[in-house]
Structure formats: structure tokens, C-alpha cells
Chains A and B, each alone.
Chain A
Amino acid sequence: NAGVTQTPKFQVLKTGQSMTLQCAQDMNHEYMSWYRQDPGMGLRLIHYSVGAGITDQGEVPNGYNVSRSTTEDFPLRLLSAAPSQTSVYFCASLGTAYEQYFGPGTRLTVT
């Protein structure tokens, strides 16, 4: 099992550019989520999905879109990047005992 994979590992964007962060899991977990982690702020939930075709907003959803067409994939789209979106992004999937499995993260810098 690869677990949760994310691409890219690093990305630099200019303000206004758009991009998609990829996330995939091979554990057949229904629940997946995206977090951002900033110094002193901890992990904040951006969007989550309880299964294919179902998504919902978390704590900080503005500026991000998600879709869930398959159980395995849960991409995060930045519509028009802003410097405030500079962060480390983690995708995660939830096991049956509420244990969270995280991907390795994407370090995003917006200039």
C-alpha cells in the first residue's frame, strides 16, 4: 500500500495563477480531507469529502475548490492564488477508527 500520496511536493506560483494539488489514497477510505498548516495556527481543515460525489467546506474554504469523482482521488484546486495561500498543504484519509493518515504534503509559495 502506498497510503496517501500527494503531488507536487513543492510549488511556486505567482499571484493570480491557478493550479491543482493532487491527492490519492489506496486504502479504500471513504472520508478524505485537505488541511493547511501554518506556523502557530496548527492544522486547519479546508474541505472534506465523505465519499465519491460528496464534498463539504471546512474551516477555511475560501479560494479553494474540491471534487471527488472517485474514492481514490481528491484534488484541491486553487482558483486564483494569493500570497495568503502560502502554506503547507496536507491531504488525509480517515480510517475506520478515526485515525487520520496524512500524505507527505505540498509546500506552496505564492509570490
Chain B
Amino acid sequence: RKEVEQDPGPFNVPEGATVAFNCTYSNSASQSFFWYRQDCRKEPKLLMSVYSSGNEDGRFTAQLNRASQYISLLIRDSKLSDSATYLCAMNTGFQKLVFGTGTRLLVSP
């Protein structure tokens, strides 16, 4: 089983829709969790950290479910500019991060 698993998508949604992605992990010792955004042919960039209490930043909400070992990202009121690949990541040991393969989101007019 992979350490981190994501549905590759693509998720096709219209502008204004709400969309959610999950990312499951197998290492129960993981302490820090993140969502990254990667545009086509660009480097990943940190979108937000995921805290035990959840984290909200504008239209984006990230949550952690330790019991079921997954993190989620909710995007409300989708914009065309949200089209990208969303990578989850978590630390699995001393300063080492493991990334998921990414979920592709396509927002259409």
C-alpha cells in the first residue's frame, strides 16, 4: 500500500461549484500535513497547512481526520484559476515529506 494515496481525477466542475478532495495516508505517526498546488509545468507551491482543528483560508478549507487517516481539501465557489493539480503531503519522519501523486481539478466556465 502506498504511504499516501490520492484520486488522480480529473475532477471537472463548473465555476461556482464546491469540490472536495481526500488524501489517505498509512503512517499513523505522521504529524504535519499540507496541501500544495501545482500548475502545469510549474513547481508545487504550498497552499495551506492542515491542523488537527482544521484550517480555513478564504474559499479553501482543509481538515484532518486522524481516526480514518485522511486529510481533505474543500474549495468553495470554484474559479477558473483554481484549475491545477493539488498534492497532499505529510512528514513521515525527521524532516522528510512524502507527497501524493496529485488530484487534477478542471474548472470550466
Complex Cα spacing A101 to B97, Å: 12
What is the total of A-B residue contacts with beta carbons within 8 Å? 50
* Interface size range on B against A: 20 to 34
Instruction: Name which residue of chain A comes closest to B94, CB basis.
Output: A50
B49 touches A45 (CB 8 A): no
Taking the closest CB of chain A, its distance from the CB of B57, in whole angstroms, is 14
Given A42-B100, A99-B34: A50 and B46 interface contact (C-beta under 8 Å): no
Q: Which residues of A contact B59 (CB under 8 A)?
A: none
A8 CB to closest chain B CB (Å) equals 15
Q: Is A105 a contact of B43 with CB atoms below 8 Å? A: yes
Instruction: Count chain A residues whose beta carbon lies closer than 8 angstroms to a beta carbon of B.
Output: 21
What are the interface flags for B28-58 relative to A under an 8 Å C-beta threshold, 1 for contact and 0 otherwise? 0000101010000011111001000000000
Q: Is A2 an interface residue (CB 8 A)?
A: no
Residues of B within 8 A of A102 (CB): 43-45
Is there an interface contact between A104 and B42, defined as CB atoms closer than 8 Å?
A: yes
Sample of 19 A–B contacts (CB below 8 Å): A40-B8, A42-B87, A42-B101, A43-B87, A45-B97, A48-B96, A90-B44, A94-B95, A97-B32, A98-B32, A98-B91, A98-B95, A98-B97, A99-B46, A100-B46, A100-B97, A101-B46, A103-B43, A105-B43
Q: Sort A-B residue pairs by CB-CB distance and give the 7 closest, nearest first.
A: A42-B101, A102-B43, A43-B99, A98-B32, A31-B95, A99-B46, A42-B99
What is the interface of chain A, defined by CB distance below 8 A to chain B?
31, 35, 40-43, 45, 48, 50, 58, 90, 94, 97-105
Interface residues of B (CB under 8 A from A): 8, 32, 34, 36, 42-46, 49, 87, 89, 91, 94-102
Query: A58-B96, A102-B44 given. 7 additional CB < 8 A pairs?
Result: A40-B8, A42-B99, A94-B97, A97-B49, A98-B91, A99-B46, A99-B49
